[in-house]
Structure formats: structure tokens, C-alpha cells
């Protein structure tokens, strides 16, 4: 098996590069060059300059309009009286031709001997094409804007094998600045993520929703079944919690008189990490007074379609080789109907022991502390969700799994809740929101009993929220959407860490 070059030799080589770059820095300063100037007058982005390039070409006498670009040097080809380099800015890359007779002898010698791959430079010059027809900027001046003292990762060969120091996922996540500097495809992921978030805002703003901000640090967590992070608030001498959801604060605003609200926020859950879960994540939550879960189902279908079209320019989404179309109507299927298809059993009346037997029969891992709702959820996660490829709404969930949802108007054993899925992804959660304060108190008390039995992921009793319901909250439909997971789906990324700029990692 071929192995990479000896790590000790690599360390010695790196130390020598660092020493040489520090020497170059000292020489630049000794020559009166500030290697970290304050600003540069940049008038062109490289993609804009390359567009309709032939209309911007210099004349045969090397005269023409001057353009100024700035970015990082990614390649250098040093020759005698003229040299080439490639400069990469935020969204494009361009060749630069540097001639001694054009930039001056002192500047050219500095470029040849004291500039390095990785340096950030500003270039002013005219546009022309080389003999090989390459769009190029003929430099009139080259200015060092930031001296790079540490080399960029580069592809190396050893015994016929290629080793790229920056395809290693662990290194990429820990040093995202290098990942972005050398991998343009990674930059594209986060551009799409920004488009997704902007599209969500645009969609809701146009429909009269008000964007709000609620506390990230809360005296009592709630709005989801999750374990929180705890922090001690020194000035108040009491423990607070990082929010696990925005829900209970946003619904307080409906009691206060707003009718449509939303928030894009960071939430935190003190749980495990895998390809779909990160302890810190981004959520969109929105609530609409005088609506129910059917209204929100229709609205969210429009939302997903709009976001895909806006972020990707199309409604077809390809993930890991499989393609679905968000432009088509979503499938709508019931929770217990899907479970019956998967297990062959009608589980609506099953108690915890019977559900545990079904889980065991189908190799579904559960804990002895789990109640009926959690066992049902694990069966669903294991046997059903991975097979939901087409965009699908699962609706009418068990009462025991949904302490904040309104009971189904036709069957009190169920709640009016739905979740959207596509290509195996759980994309959100939505309810006809429970606004009966007496019913809500009973649900909270049931959650308290589960916690006393050992379940760490329960909803605590929130007296202030109950008081808000007692004052009166209108009938309401609400939804939460996982922004990170939706971004994974729309950018075809198999891990949530690929769509979070600085994910948490184990040490």
C-alpha cells in the first residue's frame, strides 16, 4: 500500500518554507514596502471582467481602459523579463501577465523573488488575449496587499499517487478559512445557503409575516423534546438555558396581537452528532393566526417550491444521484398508515409494551425509558423515513409524541401535526397549535411524569406560557424548518458539517 511522504520530513520542509517567507517579509520592509497596506481601489470583480471580454481588449500599442482586480495568487510561472500568475478573487480566477518593462524593475524583481503563492495582491492593467487565446490582464502595477506567511495546501505526488492536503474532512472543517481559500466548490455551497435563507425571508415578507427576534438565553427551555445546554447567569445567580426552539416565545407574540411572525435563529440541543445533527443549528419558525395545519401544509409546499426555484433556478433537486421535483404536488400520507405498511400492524391502540415488541421484531433500537410516542418515532425513523424519496407530508401524529399540537378534530388519539420529507430527509415540523390552556397543562404534566421516569428529552411545565394561553391565543398554525438539512438537500451534501461554516468537532 502506498503511503504519503514521511511526516517528519514534511514538517522540516514546512518549517523551511515558513523561515523563507519570514525572510521575504523582512526584505520587503527593508525595501520600504508595507506588506499589509490599508486599502486598495478595486473596480472589477473577475467574473464581471471576463464577461464580454473581447469588448475590453487593449490596442496593439498596449493601451486601453485600465481595470483593477484584487485577490489571492494561486499559481506563479516565473520567467526572465516577464512572468505569469493566476489571481483568484471571491468568485473567479484570471491570469495576470507581469512584465519588467511595464511595472518597473524594482517592482518586477520584488514580484519575482519576494511574492509567493497565497499572497493577496492588487493588480491594475489592460485586458488582452495571449497567443493561446487566454483572457489575461497585462499588469501596469502589482501591489502586495497581504503577505502570506503560511503556504496554502497544494496537491503533491509521491510514488505515482496524488495527495491533496485539503481533501481531508477533519482538516477542512477545523480550518474552514483554508477550505474556502482553495476549494471554490465549497464557496458555492455557502452562496447557495445564503440564497436559501434570502428566499425564505422574501417568501414570508411578501405574505405579510413580521420577522422578529426572541431570546437565545432562556430561563426555561421549551418548544421541542430535547436536552438543553445549561449556563449560569452570574448577575441573576441562576441557571439559564440555550434555546432548543423559538416556538413558545413566538406564540406569546400571537397572544400579544401579531398575526404572522417568523424568526431565523440559531438553536442548540445538547445531543449527539451525526451526518444529520449538529448541536448548534439554524431554524426557520413561522406562525400564522387563524390558520390550521392544513393551511400551513399548503403554504409550506409553496415555500419549498419557491426556495428551490430561487436558490437553484429550478424545482428539480438531485441528491446522491436521485432526482425529485418540488414543482409537483407533495404526497400526503398518515403517520399510522405508513406504520401499518411497514410493520403489517395497526399500532393506533398499541401500548408501550406492545410497541416495544414490534420494535424488537423489526430490529428497531429503543430504550427502556421510552414512552409510547418515542417508540413510535423510532419505528418511523428506522422503517419508514429512509424510503420517503418523493416530497411527502406525513400527518396526524400520535398524541403522546406531540405535547404542543392540537388534538385532531375527528380523533382525539391523534394530533393535527405534519412533517415534510424528501429523499429521506426530515425537513420540518408543523402543528395546528394547541391554544387550550387546560389541555396544555395536562400535556405538560404528562411530560413531567416522563421526565420523572428517566426521559431526559421532555417539555418542562412553563407557567408563563400557560398564562399567555389563559389570556387567549388565537387559533394558529405554525411550522419549523431545518435550514441546514434543507441546504444539504439542495446542495447535494451528505453531511451537515458541509453546510455549516464552522461545525463543532470532537477534540
Q: Which sequence spans correspond to the domains of the chain?
A: 7-165, 184-330+390-499
Coil vs helix vs strand at 308: helix
Return the pLDDT at 62: 82
Return the closest-CA partner of residue 475 out of 299, 288, 256.
288
CATH class of the 184-330+390-499 domain in this structure: alpha beta
CA distances from 453 to 134, 237, 373 (A): 71, 29, 14
d(CA 39, CA 345): 70
Phi and psi at residue 387, to the nearest 5° = -95, 0
Bin 299: left if φ > 0, else alpha if -120 < ψ < 50, else beta: alpha
Return the pLDDT at 160: 44
Return the pLDDT at 403: 79
b or e along 110-131 (b: 16 or more beta carbons within 10 Å of the residue's beta carbon)? bbbebbbebbbbbbbbbbbeee
Coil vs helix vs strand at 87: strand
CA distances from 26 to 12, 20, 31, 187, 328 (A): 21, 10, 9, 33, 63
The answer to whether residues 128 and 138 touch, using CB atoms and an 8 Å cutoff, is yes
pTM of the model: 0.90
Return the pLDDT at 447: 85
Return the pLDDT at 165: 57
CA distances from 370 to 224, 373, 429, 447, 491 (A): 16, 8, 21, 12, 35
d(CA 125, CA 276): 48
d(CA 443, CA 460): 10
CATH of domain 7-165: 2.40.50.140
Displacement of CA 335 from its chain's centroid (Å): 29
d(CA 477, CA 11): 59
Return the pLDDT at 3: 47
In this structure, the strands spanning 280-289 and 476-482 are: antiparallel
Residues in contact with 492: Cβ distance below 8 Å, sequence separation at least 6, in sequence order: 318, 319, 320
Residue 351, Cβ density class (10 Å: 0-12 exposed, 13-18 middle, ≥19 buried): exposed
Give the number of other CB atoms < 10 A from CB of residue 4. Answer: 12
The answer to whether residues 326 and 305 touch, using CB atoms and an 8 Å cutoff, is yes
Can you spell out the DSSP letters for 321-381? TEEEETTSPPEEEEHHHHHHHHHSS--TT--HHHHHHHHHHTT----TT--HHHHHHHHHH
Residue 222, Cβ density class (10 Å: 0-12 exposed, 13-18 middle, ≥19 buried): buried
Q: How many residues does the chain have?
A: 507
The answer to whether residues 284 and 483 touch, using CB atoms and an 8 Å cutoff, is yes
> pLDDT tens string for the chain (507 positions)?
344 556 677 788 889 999 999 999 999 999 999 999 999 999 999 999 999 999 999 988 888 899 999 999 999 999 999 999 999 999 899 999 999 999 999 999 999 999 999 999 999 999 999 999 999 999 999 999 999 999 998 645 444 444 555 788 989 999 999 999 999 999 999 999 999 999 999 999 999 999 999 999 999 998 888 899 999 999 999 999 999 999 999 999 999 999 999 999 999 999 889 999 999 999 999 999 999 999 999 999 999 999 999 999 999 999 999 999 999 999 999 999 999 999 999 999 999 999 999 999 999 999 988 888 889 999 999 999 999 999 999 999 998 888 788 999 999 999 999 999 999 889 999 999 999 999 999 988 888 888 887 777 778 889 999 999 999 999 999 999 999 999 999 999 999 999 999 998 887
Amino acid at each position: 500500500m502506498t503511503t504519503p511522504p514521511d511526516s517528519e520530513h514534511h514538517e522540516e520542509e514546512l518549517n523551511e518554507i515558513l523561515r523563507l517567507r519570514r525572510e521575504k517579509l523582512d526584505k520587503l520592509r527593508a525595501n520600504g514596502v508595507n506588506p499589509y497596506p490599508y486599502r486598495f481601489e478595486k473596480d472589477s470583480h473577475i467574473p464581471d471582467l471576463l464577461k464580454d471580454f473581447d469588448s475590453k481588449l487593449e490596442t496593439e500599442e498596449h493601451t486601453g481602459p485600465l481595470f483593477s482586480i484584487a485577490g489571492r495568487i494561486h499559481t506563479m510561472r516565473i520567467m526572465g523579463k516577464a512572468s505569469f500568475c493566476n489571481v483568484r478573487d471571491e468568485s473567479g480566477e484570471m491570469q495576470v501577465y507581469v512584465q519588467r518593462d511595464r511595472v518597473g524593475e524594482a517592482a518586477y524583481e520584488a514580484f519575482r523573488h519576494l511574492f509567493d503563492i497565497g499572497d493577496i495582491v492588487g493588480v491594475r492593467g489592460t485586458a488582452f488575449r495571449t497567443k493561446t487565446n487566454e483572457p489575461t490582464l497585462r499588469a501596469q502595477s502589482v501591489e502586495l496587499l497581504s503577505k502570506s506567511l503560511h503556504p496554502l495546501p497544494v496537491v503533491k505526488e509521491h510514488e505515482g499517487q496524488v495527495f491533496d492536503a485539503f481533501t481531508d474532512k477533519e482538516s477542512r472543517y477545523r480550518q474552514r478559512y483554508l477550505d474556502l481559500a482553495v476549494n471554490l466548490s465549497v464557496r458555492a455551497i455557502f452562496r447557495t445557503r445564503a440564497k436559501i435563507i434570502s428566499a425564505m425571508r422574501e417568501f414570508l415578507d411578501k405574505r405579510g409575516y413580521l420577522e422578529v427576534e426572541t431570546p437565545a438565553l432562556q430561563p426555561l427551555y421549551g418548544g421541542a423534546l430535547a436536552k438543553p445546554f445549561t449556563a449560569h447567569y452570574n448577575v441573576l445567580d441562576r441557571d439559564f438555558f440555550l434555546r432548543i426552539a423559538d416556538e413558545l416565545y413566538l406564540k406569546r407574540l400571537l397572544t400579544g396581537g401579531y398575526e404572522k411572525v417568523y424568526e431565523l435563529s440559531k438553536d442548540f440541543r445538547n445531543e449527539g452528532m451525526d451526518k444529520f445533527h449538529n448541536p448548534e443549528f439554524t431554524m426557520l419558525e413561522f406562525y400564522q393566526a387563524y390558520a390550521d395545519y392544513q393551511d400551513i401544509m399548503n403554504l409550506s409546499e409553496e415555500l419549498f417550491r419557491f426556495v428551490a426555484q430561487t436558490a437553484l433556478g429550478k424545482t428539480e433537486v438531485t441528491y446522491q444521484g436521485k432526482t425529485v421535483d418540488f414543482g409537483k404536488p407533495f404526497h400526503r400520507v398518515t403517520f399510522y398508515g405508513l406504520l401499518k405498511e411497514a410493520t403489517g400492524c395497526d399500532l393506533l391502540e398499541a401500548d408501550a409494551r406492545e410497541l416495544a415488541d414490534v420494535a424488537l421484531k423489526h430490529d428497531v433500537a429503543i430504550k427502556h425509558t421510552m414512552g409510547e410516542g418515542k417508540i413510535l418515532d423510532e419505528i418511523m425513523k428506522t422503517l419508514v423515513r429512509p424510503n420517503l424519496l418523493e416530497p411527502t407530508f406525513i400527518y396526524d401524529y400520535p398524541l403522546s409524541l406531540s405535547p404542543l399540537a392540537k388534538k385532531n378534530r375527528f380523533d382525539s388519539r391523534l394530533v393535527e401535526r405534519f412533517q415534510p420529507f424528501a429523499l429521506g430527509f426530515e425537513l420540518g415540523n408543523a402543528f395546528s397549535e394547541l391554544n387550550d390552556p387546560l389541555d396544555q397543562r395536562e400535556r405538560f404534566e404528562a411530560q413531567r411524569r416522563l421526565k420523572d421516569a428517566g426521559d431526559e428529552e421532555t417539555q418542562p411545565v412553563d407557567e408563563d406560557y400557560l398564562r399567555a394561553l389563559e389570556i387567549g391565543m388565537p387559533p394558529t398554525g405554525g411550522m419549523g424548518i431545518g435550514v441546514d438539512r434543507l441546504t444539504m438537500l439542495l446542495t447535494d451534501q451528505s453531511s451537515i458539517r458541509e453546510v455549516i461554516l464552522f461545525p463543532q468537532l470532537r477534540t
